[in-house]
Structure 1
Amino acid sequence: MRLSIIGSKTRTLSNRQYVPPSVLSNDTLNRLSTISSRDEGCRLLSEVSSEENKLLQYLKEILEERVLLDKQYAQNLQELAAKADRIACLTKTNSMASICHKHLMQWSQRATAIDSSVDQFRCDVLDILLQNLLEQKNDLKKFFEDEKRQYEVEHQKAQNNVTEAEKHYSNAAKTYVAKNNELTKFTACSECPPLKENQLRLYSMRFCPFVRRVKLVLAAKNIPYEEVFINLSDEPEWYLKKNPVGEVPLLEWIDHDSKEIRSIPESLIISNYLDDLYSEHRLHPIDPYLKAKQQILTEGFGDVRSAFYKVFGNSEQNNFEDLNQSLTVYEEALHDKYFGGSKPAMIDYMLWPWFELFPTLKEIGFVLNADGKLPKLGNWFKEMQANDVVRKTKVPDEIIQKFVHTVGEGKPDYDIE
């Protein structure tokens, strides 16, 4: 009888292909550390992957020692089986030899079984171990995914609650704002409210684009302030003493050291003063040359303002053309998402208040970039509309439109809601 040793390279178990551990690569063992690595939860498991690899390597060494012992055992049984073959001829005449041959044949079959199943045994053990670890990771991944889904559901529920709350309290908020405005609107018969220390006060009018400049800077730099509305059709005497030209904005405060009241008029001057005073978050570029270039564009915006007011007062086509022509300079000067680069800068906030009024010209036929010749300004307009600072300080379009109608009628209503 000839006994052979089975040593196939691969075997199919449970419809899957396995590689004997003797030829397993480190890449196979490292599978555990890369599975679901994109998942934030399972990323935590990758931190212990090296310990898992050490465990698998240790088990591999134990299995290999077991295989060597089994191989040696099988070899010994094969040698005994060979001896059994040599005495097989005596089985008919010698009862003792027959018994020995029977036992030796059993050993031979055992040796063959051991030899043929050693590698399969190793693959089975490693496969079960790997499968258990992988399932453990998959279970954890599923757990984190379920947690993520639950968080998203709760988050959406919270957002819905916020939306409902906003709807519920919107009217109350409007009423509060209206009452607050009533308390802070001052006409000729009013008295100047007392100025508090350590607080900036901005004299303003809601629809004034020059005031919008200052409010955008205050919001962008998170500077707290008090706002006092002035009726520009009936300015209080006390305000004309503060600012004889009777214009807004005007920034006022009590000096900390001298305790005297100080004030600054003009939107550009106020904005530059605030940028210097609160220097933690600069809106002007640090580069002096770049700052100068942007200030030139800001100062030159008067041409756009003049063309804008011509369209506002007269909807003739040539006025539309003049406005578009004046905007061409800014189309050519815009080389990034904003004039200030990747985020809004001082120049963006200084130009925006008039662009914000462009939708009011739609009724008379003017639309920004209607002919497609100002695409960069068109994109900048959308980016600025979505900006948090702009949205936080914006007066609703419908109220602006109502105010514009009152201006067109020659009776501007600064208190319109």
Structure 2
Amino acid sequence: MSQTRLTLISHPLCPFVQRVAIVLHEKGIAFERVNVDLHDKPDWFLAISPTGKVPLLKVLHADGCESVLFESVAICEYFEDLQPKPALHPQDALLRAQHRAWIEFTSVALSDAWGLLNATDHETARAKAAAFRKKLEQFEAEMSDGPYFAGKSFSMVDAVMAPIFRYFDILDFDFEPTHHVFDGLRRVANWRLALARRSSIQAAVTQDYATWLREHLREKEALLATV
């Protein structure tokens, strides 16, 4: 890695960017971060992003050539292959495949959580809260006693789930459609707390992240912007 320079193309709110940043911090890999305005995407960004989304990873090689990776899971897997220690996947092939499946499941949970955050009416908020609660119940039944998803070792599943929990650590979800989301889920509650305390997760966002999030919700006129 000493012969390459890494630039993470980012947006301050993007949870998928956070996944990559967490893995980079876990691996101790140095990188630069460049934010783009997703409401006014620059031409240079559109020229290198097949989906027009973040994250992108620019890899500047020692010979001056540049490679670009897109999609957060692909980028995270690249770093796992490139620098196997500390390992973020189990060594056992079956367990590794199971973890990858739960990573996909986490993306669905993220969709429900994001829908809950951005709900502008109570009916939508209730539906998204119920859907997200069901995902958490499935995690509760699957995971170990922690503190992390698979026990004492931090894994890629933890890295991709952490940005979701961050929403609930910042915002006040204690209003009627949403305040029962975490009730009775002891393992999930302990997992959430352990992730919030981890330095790589804290470092994955800028200090003004909460401000960005609240401003986004105000712009969307979300219910959560009023509580």
Q: Is the 8 A contact 2:12 2:209 kept in 1?
A: no
Q: Distance in 2 between matches of 1:401 and 1:208?
A: 12
Q: Is the 8 A contact 2:10 2:54 kept in 1?
A: yes
2:164 matched residue in structure 1: 354
Runs of 4+ in 1 over 6 A off after TM superposition: none
Q: Distance in 1 between matches of 2:114 and 2:90?
A: 30
Q: Distance in 1 between matches of 2:105 and 2:91?
A: 21
The one-letter amino acid of 1:402's match is T
2:76 matched residue in structure 1: 271
Q: Distance in 1 between matches of 2:205 and 2:150?
A: 21
For residues 190-210 of structure 1, what are the alpha-carbon distances to aligned partners after superposition, in whole Å with 9 as ceiling and x for unaligned?
A: xxxxxxx62111111122100
Q: Does 1:223 align with 2:32?
A: no
2:98 matched residue in structure 1: 293
Out of 269, 283, 308, the position equivalent to 2:88 is 283
Out of 307, 311, 316, the position equivalent to 2:112 is 307
Q: Does 1:211 align with 2:20?
A: no
> Secondary structure of the residue that 1:344 maps to in structure 2?
coil
The offset of 1:360, in angstroms, is 4.4
Q: Is the 8 A contact 1:361 1:367 kept in 2?
A: no
> Secondary structure of the residue that 1:409 maps to in structure 2?
helix
1:234 matched residue in structure 2: 40
Q: Is the 8 A contact 1:248 1:266 kept in 2?
A: yes
Q: Is the 8 A contact 1:359 1:367 kept in 2?
A: no
The one-letter amino acid of 2:165's match is F
Q: Is the 8 A contact 1:358 1:367 kept in 2?
A: no
Question: Residue 295 and residue 370 in structure 1: after superposition, are their counterparts in 2 closer, same or farther (change >3 A)?
Answer: closer
Q: Does 1:403 align with 2:182?
A: no
Question: Residue 280 and residue 323 in structure 1: after superposition, are their counterparts in 2 closer, same or farther (change >3 A)?
Answer: closer
Question: Residue 280 and residue 329 in structure 1: after superposition, are their counterparts in 2 closer, same or farther (change >3 A)?
Answer: same
Q: Does 1:381 align with 2:192?
A: yes
Q: Distance in 1 between matches of 2:92 and 2:174?
A: 42
The offset of 1:272, in angstroms, is 0.3
For residues 8-31 of structure 1, what are the alpha-carbon distances to aligned partners after superposition, in whole Å with 9 as ceiling and x for unaligned?
A: xxxxxxxxxxxxxxxxxxxxxxxx
The alignment of Structure 1 onto Structure 2 pairs a total of residues equal to: 212
Q: Does 1:248 align with 2:61?
A: no
Question: Residue 364 and residue 262 in structure 1: after superposition, are their counterparts in 2 closer, same or farther (change >3 A)?
Answer: same
The one-letter amino acid of 2:161's match is L
The one-letter amino acid of 2:29's match is I
Superposed counterparts of 1:26-45, under 5 Å:
none
Out of 341, 344, 361, the position equivalent to 2:151 is 341
1:326 matched residue in structure 2: 135
> Secondary structure of the residue that 1:336 maps to in structure 2?
coil
Q: Does 1:262 align with 2:37?
A: no
Q: Distance in 2 between matches of 1:246 and 1:266?
A: 11
For residues 29-53 of structure 1, what are the alpha-carbon distances to aligned partners after superposition, in whole Å with 9 as ceiling and x for unaligned?
A: xxxxxxxxxxxxxxxxxxxxxxxxx
Instruction: Structure 1: give runs of 5+ residues left out of the alignment.
Output: 1-196, 412-417
Q: Is the 8 A contact 1:312 1:361 kept in 2?
A: no
The one-letter amino acid of 1:269's match is A
2:183 matched residue in structure 1: 371
Q: Is the 8 A contact 2:106 2:160 kept in 1?
A: no
Greater share of residues in helix: 1
Question: Residue 236 and residue 273 in structure 1: after superposition, are their counterparts in 2 closer, same or farther (change >3 A)?
Answer: same
Superposed counterparts of 1:71-150, under 5 Å:
none
TM-score, normalisation: structure 2? 0.84
Question: Residue 349 and residue 377 in structure 1: after superposition, are their counterparts in 2 closer, same or farther (change >3 A)?
Answer: same
Question: Residue 368 and residue 249 in structure 1: after superposition, are their counterparts in 2 closer, same or farther (change >3 A)?
Answer: farther
Question: Residue 291 and residue 303 in structure 1: after superposition, are their counterparts in 2 closer, same or farther (change >3 A)?
Answer: same
Residue identity (%): 28
Q: Distance in 2 between matches of 1:368 and 1:358?
A: 12
The offset of 1:307, in angstroms, is 1.7
> Secondary structure of the residue that 1:356 maps to in structure 2?
helix
The offset of 1:357, in angstroms, is 1.2
The offset of 1:394, in angstroms, is 4.0
Question: Residue 367 and residue 400 in structure 1: after superposition, are their counterparts in 2 closer, same or farther (change >3 A)?
Answer: farther
For residues 241-297 of structure 1, what are the alpha-carbon distances to aligned partners after superposition, in whole Å with 9 as ceiling and x for unaligned?
A: 01142211111112346x421110010000000110112322111111110011111
The offset of 1:367, in angstroms, is 4.5
